Amino acid sequence: MICLDTNYLIRLLVPGSREAAEVSAWYRAGERLITPMLAWFEFLCGPVSNEQEQVVRAFLAEIVPIDEPQVRLAADLFNHAGRVRRNRIDALIAATALHANARLATGNREDFAPFEARGLVLL
């Protein structure tokens, strides 16, 4: 299973982008593709058309809600990564991937690197 970060959702709409090629290949290979509700929110803040939304949504098996288990895990990730304020949303996205036992596809590897020590696998 692969969890797509916001930048992957956005770049999926860019023909010829590395991210579009990777997502298409994963989809064709039968990978289950998910995204956290927070990443979906960021994507929808756009600008994005209804057609673009539908294209991206067609690739996703699930938009994962953020419930108490993910929030607790995110708090743990945030605290163990040094309580850096700008990492709060990233901690929630990372927790969603970890809770789903998914690898995280992101173009912001540096932002998520602090969570690798807690088991997050980045693509």
The model's pLDDT over 48-67, given as tens digits with 9 standing for 90+, comes to 999 999 999 999 999 999 99
| β-sheet with 62-64: strand ranges across | 62-64, 33-36, 2-4, 103-105
| Alpha helices (H) in the chain, listed in sequence order | 6-11, 18-28, 37-44, 50-59, 68-80, 88-99, 109-112
Express each pLDDT in 99-119 by its tens digit. Answer: 999 999 999 999 999 999 999
Domains of the chain from N-terminus onward:
2-118 (3.40.50.1010)
pTM given for the model? 0.93
Burial of residue 94 (CB within 10 Å: 0-12, 13-18, 19+) is buried
CA quadruple 116, 70, 45, 31: dihedral sign: positive
